[in-house]
């Protein structure tokens, strides 16, 4: 009988394995055949970066349970390595694994700003808020070198186009100058994702993301710059970090956050196996309870993708989370401000040589 080998976690990576995506014809699995040869320590997994040759940069959706219909993701894959990331299954469309490939084989869009200018120049374009970083983080580590997110913001600022940003990186504070100027015209807002204040849990769950303390500093920096900034306590993982909700909201309020949001853990497609694998390796004493609570919030399944249910879950535990969150937001004043952004200021980008080269 085949026996699964003990899973060795690669240092600095979230997923414990690299199983093939759902579209691949073959899968492979390591197992102990009794002859030894299993390495005691896996070598570091280096990050590989390729160019994404997409011809457009604005993605559109008609999802009824999210407040935007268009978004931009400067990168595919995310080096932060968050084991729970709902975007992991998208790597399967590239013939790559949603596991370690997702956090180590990245694609970047070097022409994103030029493509954005082209799309905003079209005669039929009508402005609505563009969400930046809805799939993978626009401020993940490679942004520090490539600066694609900043280039996109420069185009949006030039065109007076409204933008909303979600990130778990303190690097967003680098762009406080642009965001502050846009915020003065009601054109920018930001959310910082803080999943835990526990440094040990954060290192295991989000190995290459900035520490919770640095994210709180980013909230403080944006707030001082006049940028409307909120906190996303996401995902809430029942039995693992849900007890921190009030502490995260209070710390974020103290840092300058003016509103808050949350999402319950989502385990679609390959994520359910990746998360279970990670959970059993990192927190074997809690794994059974966590999975039971997750399934209790999803109608007895690992995941329910139904509109209106997929983000918040259902059932007694999900209802309790919703009530706790509402009470905490009222207590800390995170439920009062409206962040409507202005779409009436939009102007089409000026024509230039780079833009004309794309036409």
pLDDT digits over 294-353, tens only?
Answer: 999 999 999 999 999 999 999 999 999 999 999 999 999 999 777 789 999 999 998 764
Distance from C-alpha of 339 to C-alpha of 244, rounded to nearest angstrom: 26
Q: Does 358 fall in a domain?
A: no
Q: What is the pLDDT of residues 167-192, one digit of tens each?
A: 999 999 999 999 999 999 999 999 99
What is this structure's pTM? 0.90
| Range 87-105 average pLDDT | 94
Whether 198 is in a domain gets the answer yes
Q: What is the pLDDT of residues 9-43, one digit of tens each?
A: 677 788 888 887 776 665 655 555 555 544 555 67
- Number of other CB atoms surrounding residue 1 within 10 Å: 3
In the chain, DSSP assigns E strands to 3-4, 31-32, 48-51, 59-60, 70-72, 75-76, 105-108, 130-132, 163-167, 188-193, 229-236, 260-264
Taking the C-alpha atoms of residue 279 and residue 291, their distance in angstroms, rounded to an integer, is 9
In a domain, residue 355? The reply is no
Q: Is 44 helix (H, G, I), strand (E, B) or coil?
A: coil
C-alpha distances (whole Å) from 21 to each of 85, 88, 104, 223, 323 are 15, 10, 15, 41, 37
Q: How many domains does the chain have?
A: 1
Would you say residue 260 lies in a domain? yes
Across-strand partners of 236? 264
Residues of the chain with pLDDT > 90: what percent? 79
Joined together, the tokens standing for residue 82 give 């968050």
Q: Which range marks the domain in which residue 319 is found?
A: 3-20+49-335
Could you tell me if residue 27 is inside a domain?
no
Domain of 16: which CATH number? 3.80.30.30
Answer yes or no: is 28 within a domain: no
348 inside domain = no
- pLDDT tens per residue, range 192-222: 999 999 999 999 999 999 999 999 999 999 9
Distance of alpha carbon 172 from alpha carbon 349, whole angstroms = 24
Residue with the two structure tokens 């005669």: 123
Residue 245 is assigned to a structural domain of this protein: yes
Which residues partner with 106 through β-bridges? 49
């Amino acid at each position: 009988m085949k026996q699964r080998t003990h899973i060795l976690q690669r240092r600095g990576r979230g997923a414990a394995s690299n199983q093939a995506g759902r579209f691949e014809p073959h899968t492979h699995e390591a197992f102990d055949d009794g002859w030894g040869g299993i390495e005691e320590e896996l070598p570091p997994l280096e990050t590989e970066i390729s160019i994404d040759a997409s011809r457009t940069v604005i993605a559109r959706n008609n999802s009824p349970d999210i407040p935007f219909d268009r978004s931009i993701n400067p990168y595919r894959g995310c080096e932060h390595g968050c084991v729970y990331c709902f975007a992991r299954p998208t790597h399967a469309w590239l013939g790559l694994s949603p596991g370690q490939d997702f956090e180590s084989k990245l694609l970047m869009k070097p022409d994103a700003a030029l493509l954005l200018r082209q799309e905003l120049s079209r005669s039929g374009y009508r402005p609505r808020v563009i969400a930046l970083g809805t799939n993978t983080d626009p401020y993940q580590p490679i942004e520090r070198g490539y600066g694609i997110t900043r280039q996109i913001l420069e185009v949006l600022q030039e065109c007076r186009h409204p933008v909303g940003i979600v990130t778990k990186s303190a690097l967003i504070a680098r762009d406080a100058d642009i965001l502050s100027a846009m915020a003065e015209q009601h054109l920018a807002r930001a959310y910082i994702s803080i999943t835990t204040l526990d440094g040990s849990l954060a290192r295991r769950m989000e190995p290459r993301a900035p520490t919770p303390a640095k994210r709180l500093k980013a909230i403080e920096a944006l707030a001082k710059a006049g940028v409307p900034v909120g906190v996303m306590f996401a995902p809430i993982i029942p039995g693992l970090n849900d007890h921190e909700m009030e502490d995260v909201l209070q710390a974020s309020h103290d840092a300058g956050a003016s509103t808050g949001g949350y999402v319950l853990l989502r385990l679609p497609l390959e994520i359910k196996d990746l998360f279970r694998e990670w959970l059993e390796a990192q927190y074997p004493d809690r794994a059974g309870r966590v999975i039971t609570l997750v399934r209790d919030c999803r109608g007895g399944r690992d995941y329910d993708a139904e509109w209106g249910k997929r983000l918040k879950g259902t059932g007694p535990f999900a209802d309790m989370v919703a009530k706790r969150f509402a009470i905490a937001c009222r207590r800390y004043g995170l439920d009062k401000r409206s962040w409507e952004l202005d779409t009436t200021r939009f102007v089409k980008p000026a024509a230039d040589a780079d833009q004309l080269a794309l036409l």
